[in-house]
């Protein structure tokens, strides 16, 4: 609740971050991810951070810059974490990229010798980095939005190979961030993947916050308000219901709940609905973007999960949806996302109660088959050797010919002979009788087809 003696304007909403979090005091969670990454870079290993849109990759890279333990210049080696935002140089040429990278490095190093250097060629960049490392520095380049570098047609295989060479010759490592793994990105020239640069990365997935980190994410910002505002258990449960442990969406939900609380309103069903609607209106654009990026099979899987048919979803699709931070513990992470999926993914926008989903809604390996494979007719089953058609009587009204009764009699005689010969061959163990049985069976089948054509 909010103290009535404190004006609302003194309580500033702390959940205002919609872009990257640059203030280290406002960053919560990612403890294990930070420890793991710093452990790899301390040993000169490169890391590829992969995570879906708005999961906090940029904020995490900025956090690394603040978390890295540095030694003051002159007292020993200093590990530089240099943040490079590829959005600043989309489509730039190699000379421009080299100079930009070196400017950011020298700025972070605060090294007088580096500030005036002109570095616009691979050899010059390699020489400048070598001199920096020889002076006692270690270097980790944090390359954000690596997709833009992959799409840059002016960056050749030689460019990436030279970066790999630096990591071999000097204490240099790289941390990239992207929505997809590096090998799955869309490159302007796929031949650059032949560079050994792409073989040095340890993959690290960035997903939901851990439960305890998400709770800290909610509570810590208001604890600094000296008891003027606090969340109830019911309000925290509501936040997790609509936003799960997704950092960006949890930030938005907290923002609207905080705005409600500073007005002194009670938390009842009406208040919950009002906050939910504001949150829903805010995040709907994000959900719509995510929905458009899904494959048809992934959309079907989302619908099945929402209609209590999660068992129909294959393991591969579960893994894909988990990697995209859409499901957690075998359900969608957000009740608002569930409402959206039911509205977008089902006819009429309402769930149907079905014992078993229709064939069009089932999700299996066929969803990923080529069209010609899905439409190919099934191979007919082969009958056992002694399977004889059970229905030997022509259907009424089909105009059976006068020869049909005679054929029926002949078929019956040979069928009886087949059974007798087969039984005697088994009892007396006479191979000739088994051959006679096989001949009789063959005649039965032939006569049956003759009878079918006759009728």
Share of the chain above pLDDT 90, in %: 58
Is the confidence at residue 400, as pLDDT, over 70? no
Q: Domain for residue 8, yes or no?
A: no
pLDDT tens digits for range 49-68: 999 999 999 999 999 988 76
Question: Measuring CA to CA, which residue among 222, 143, 145, 135 is closest to residue 185?
Answer: 145
Identify whether residues 112 and 174 lie together within a single domain: yes
Residue 384 lies inside a defined structural domain of this protein = no
d(CA 304, CA 322): 15
Question: Looking at residue 385, what is its pLDDT?
Answer: 37
- What distance in Å separates the CA atoms of residue 139 and residue 93, rounded to the nearest whole number? 23
Q: Is 25 helix (H, G, I), strand (E, B) or coil?
A: helix
pLDDT for the residue numbered 404? 65
The 10 Å CB-count burial string (b at 16+, else e) for 356-366 is ebeeebbbeee
Residues 194 and 245 reside in one and the same domain = no
Least confident interval from 69-78, 272-281, 381-390, 441-450: 381-390
pLDDT class of 393 with cuts at 50, 70, 90: very low
* Same-domain pairing of 314 and 226: yes
User: Are 194 and 230 found together in one domain?
Assistant: no
Q: Is residue 381 part of a domain?
A: no
Q: Assess whether 181 and 295 both reside in one domain.
A: no
Query: Average pLDDT for residues 410-415, to the nearest whole number?
Result: 78
441 pLDDT more than 90 = no
Measured CA to CA in angstroms, residue 244 lies from 59, 82, 338, 398, 426 at distances of 19, 32, 12, 67, 71
Q: Based on the fold, state whether residues 174 and 37 are members of the same structural domain.
A: yes
pLDDT for res 76: 46
> Cα 105–111–117 angle (5° rounding)?
70
CA gap 122, 197 in Å, rounded = 15
Q: How far apart are CA 289 and CA 340, in angstroms?
A: 12
Domain boundary among 205, 227, 242: 205
- What are the C-alpha distances in Å from 202 to residues 36, 140, 387? 11, 14, 60
Asked if residue 1 belongs to a domain, the reply is no
Q: Is residue 338 part of a domain?
A: yes
* Domain tally, the chain: 3
- Computed over every residue of the chain, the mean pLDDT equals 82
pLDDT of residue 414: 75
Q: Higher confidence at residue 363 or residue 237?
A: 237
How would DSSP label each residue in 250-294?
Answer: HHHHHHHHHHHHTTT---SHHHHHHHHHHHHHHHHHHHHHHHHHS
What CATH code is carried by the domain that includes residue 101? 3.40.50.300
Predicted confidence at residue 392, as pLDDT, reads: 39
| 322 and 245 within one domain | yes
Dist CA 287 CA 228 (whole Å): 34
The answer to the question of residue 378 being in a domain is no
Same domain, 170 and 257: no
Give the pLDDT confidence score for residue 115 in this predicted structure: 60
The verdict on 276 and 144 lying in the same domain is no
Contact present, 308 and 354 (Cβ < 8 Å): no
Q: Which of 15-24, 179-188, 372-381 has the lowest mean pLDDT?
A: 372-381
Tell me if 382 is assigned to some domain.
no
Looking at residue 195, its pLDDT comes to 92
Domain that holds residue 151: 30-205
CA distance 60 to 218: 18
User: Is 302 part of any domain?
Assistant: yes
| Same domain assignment for residues 229 and 357 | yes
CA distances from 187 to 178, 293, 324, 420 (A): 13, 18, 21, 74
Range with the poorest average pLDDT among 16-20, 242-246, 424-428? 424-428
Same-domain pairing of 339 and 411: no
Q: Say whether both 108 and 58 belong to one domain.
A: yes
Model pLDDT for residues 323-380, shown as the tens digit of each residue:
999 999 999 999 999 999 999 987 765 444 333 343 333 344 344 444 444 444 443 4
Q: How confident is the model at residue 4 (pLDDT cuts 50, 70, 90)?
A: very low
The pTM (predicted TM-score) of the whole model is 0.72
């Amino acid at each position: 609740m909010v103290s009535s003696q404190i004006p609302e304007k003194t309580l500033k909403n702390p959940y205002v971050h919609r872009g990257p979090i640059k203030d280290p005091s406002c960053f919560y969670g990612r403890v294990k991810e930070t420890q793991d990454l710093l452990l790899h870079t301390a040993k000169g290993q490169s890391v590829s951070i992969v995570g879906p849109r708005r999961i906090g990759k940029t904020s995490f890279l900025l956090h690394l810059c603040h978390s890295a333990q540095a030694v003051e210049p002159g007292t020993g080696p200093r590990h530089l974490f240099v943040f490079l935002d590829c959005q600043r140089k989309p489509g730039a040429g190699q000379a421009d990229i080299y100079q930009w990278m070196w400017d950011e490095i020298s700025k972070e190093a605060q090294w007088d010798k580096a500030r005036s250097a002109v570095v616009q060629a691979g050899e010059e960049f390699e020489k400048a980095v070598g001199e920096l490392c020889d002076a006692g520095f270690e270097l980790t380049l944090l390359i954000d939005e690596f997709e833009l570098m992959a799409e840059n047609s002016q960056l050749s295989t030689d460019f990436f190979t030279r970066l790999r060479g630096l990591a071999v010759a000097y204490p240099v490592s790289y941390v990239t961030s992207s929505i997809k793994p590096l090998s799955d990105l869309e490159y302007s020239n796929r031949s650059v993947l032949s560079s050994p640069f792409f073989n040095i990365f340890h993959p690290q997935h960035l997903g939901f916050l851990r439960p305890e980190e998400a709770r800290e994410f909610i509570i810590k910002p208001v604890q600094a308000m000296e008891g003027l505002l606090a969340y109830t258990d019911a309000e925290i449960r509501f936040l997790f219901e609509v936003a799960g442990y997704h950092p960006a969406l949890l930030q938005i939900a907290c923002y609207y709940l905080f705005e409600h609380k500073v007005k002194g309103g009670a938390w009842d069903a009406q208040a919950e609905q009002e906050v939910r609607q504001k949150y829903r209106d805010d995040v709907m654009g994000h959900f719509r973007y995510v929905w458009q990026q899904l494959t048809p099979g992934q959309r079907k899987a989302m619908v099945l999960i929402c209609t209590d048919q999660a068992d129909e979803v294959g393991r591969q699709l579960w893994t894909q949806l988990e990697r995209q931070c859409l499901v957690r513990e075998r359900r969608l992470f957000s009740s608002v996302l569930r409402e959206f999926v039911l509205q977008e993914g089902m006819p009429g926008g309402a769930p149907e109660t079905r014992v078993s989903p229709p064939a069009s809604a089932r999700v299996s390996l066929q969803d990923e088959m080529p069209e010609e494979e899905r439409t190919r007719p099934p191979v007919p089953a082969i009958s056992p050797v002694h399977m004889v058609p059970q229905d030997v009587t022509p259907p009424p009204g089909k105009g059976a010919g006068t020869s049909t009764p005679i054929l029926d009699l002949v078929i019956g005689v040979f069928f009886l002979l087949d059974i007798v010969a087969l039984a005697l061959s088994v009892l007396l163990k006479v191979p000739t009788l088994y051959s006679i049985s096989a001949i009789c069976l063959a005649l039965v089948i032939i006569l049956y087809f003759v009878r079918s054509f006759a009728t």
